[in-house]
Chain A
Amino acid sequence: MNNPLVTLSKVNKTFAERPVLQNISMQLMQGEITTLIGPNGAGKSTLVRLILGLIKPDSGSVTPAPQLNIGYMPQKISIDPSLPISTCRFLQLANTSHKACHEALEMVGISHLTKSPIQTLSGGELQRALLARAILRKPNFLVLDEPVQGVDITGQNALYKMISELSKSLNCGVLMVSHDLHLVMSSTDKVICLNQHICCQGRPEQVTQDPAYIDIFGQTTAIYSHHHNHQHSIHGEVLDDQGVHQHGEGCNHD
């Protein structure tokens, strides 16, 4: 199960004499969710484009596994309103059947929007449609560039949850880009903190303790973490398995 999907070895990339990525070596594994975090300009998007094979490194190598099948969810998509295209048709561009599209839309919970023009979808619905297209071709590797962009906080939680469920059911590796570790924490196996080079990497709890991480994101944003065996409501209250609020200290309501 734990085969490397993409292996990067000593990758360097420079744009207009400005080094964007320096000496990046990493492996992305099947069945593992890796989250790439880093400040603006850290080279996250460049790294993603290298892994997708859209650009070539100046030196070093990016080696995809022979059976690699990528599902990609771009950061944003803007389709001119003059192009009449329904959500279903948008999915079918990935070269698949009508039936597969319906199933994918069902999986991400927007099957009622099949016939809606893609331009009329709300932020959260569009992200789901993009996710549906990414999983359409039964990928073994999902690359999600800021998958929760433009989605409200409840929606973000739901999306992250959906992504980790999908990765389990498809048994695929996932690479996510995010700049908010708070929300990703519970749905990622591994975090790579990038700032032109890899500052630190490891399990989310380890990374947040790492001096290099604190150096970039500051102590104040370092994350309160504890072992999660429960879910929170959007107000931060602890919920039980049924999603019902548990009364605790300081609670004196019904």
Chain B
Amino acid sequence: MTDFLLYALLAGLGVALVAGPLGCFVVWRRMAYFGDTLAHSALLGVSIGVLLNINLSITVAAIPLLMALGLVYLEQRGILSLDTLLGILSHSALATGLVLISLLPDVRVDLMSLLFGDLLSVTLNDLWVIYGVAGAVVLLLVALWKPLINITVHADLAAVEGVRVSAVRTALMLITALVIAIAMKIVGVLLITALLIIPAATARRLSNTPEQMAVTASAIAMLTVLMGLAMSWYADTPAGPSVVVCAALLFVLSLLFRQKS
């Protein structure tokens, strides 16, 4: 097997590993649009990184994180509904990112790879970043699992029982920003939410407990990456979209199963 394919496979599996459980929280907490907004702002992260000549891995995680904190602030001010706020921030971040990139005369940025991922150009260096971040995310998720579930069920109840709700919520945003930063390479900013949500939704049909669902979602996301890469290899299709198409196919297949309670 050629190196680039092996790297692509390992990178995809690393991202899929953490996309599963995080995707479950996105589904449980109805954060799909929120995830989309953060993903779109990652593109702004790329352009700011290029503009200021900062390491892209840092800006791609930092900008979504700042965006998330800004959203929390604006939501608490209660000026507009969260849905509207997300709509404003999501698309203005995407548009600003695109405009900024076009303003950089000396830099040639492959827009398609930013929007839809460029799995086949993963380098060894990327792999280190992906597995470092994925490892940190797994540790955070395991350490915070119980309080995370608790605030998902009912934040006030969790607070009365001693959970530090805003700290846990901020940690979840940090996790989301980190996963978006590494998933961008795989499926691009426009398809990240799909990689989060579709495996989780598929796993729901096969699971009885939150833990089962998280692990199943991980496994399904990994299977999806395998299938997507195979499809890309044999049918010469773009890798990122192929992964998402396979995720959707598995979801449709899962509809044949009776939903578990």
Contacts and interface: CB of A to CB of B under 8 A. Distances in A.
Interface in B121-169: 146, 149-150, 152-154, 156-162
Main secondary structure of the interface of A (DSSP, over half): loop
Contact of B161 (A94, A116, A120): A94
Given A80-B27, A82-B27, A84-B209, A74 B157 contact: yes
B208 A84 contact: yes
A190 interface: no
- A83, A95, A137: which has the most chain B beta carbons within 10 Å? A83
Contacts of A84: 204, 207-210, 212-213, 260-261
A74 B154 contact: yes
A94 B29 CA distance: 19
Interface string A81-97: 01111100110011100
A117 interface: yes
Interface in A49-83: 49, 52-54, 70, 72, 74, 77, 79-80, 82-83
Given A80-B30, A84-B204, A84-B210, A52 B160 contact: yes
Nearest to A118: B153
B28 interface: yes
Contacts of B239: none
A90 B158 CA distance: 11
A54 B159 contact: yes
B157 A72 contact: yes
A83 B261 contact: no
Given A54-B159, A80-B28, A94-B161, A120 B154 contact: no
Contacts of B194: none
Main secondary structure of the interface of B (DSSP, over half): helix
B209 A89 contact: yes
Contact of A120 (B201, B210, B261): B261
Given A84-B208, A137-B161, A72 B156 contact: yes
A133 interface: yes
A84 B213 CA distance: 8
Contacts of A83: 28, 152-153, 210
A72 B153 contact: no
24 contacts: A52-B160, A53-B160, A54-B160, A70-B160, A72-B156, A72-B157, A74-B154, A74-B156, A74-B157, A77-B157, A79-B153, A80-B29, A82-B200, A82-B204, A84-B204, A84-B208, A85-B210, A89-B209, A90-B153, A93-B146, A93-B150, A95-B161, A116-B261, A133-B157
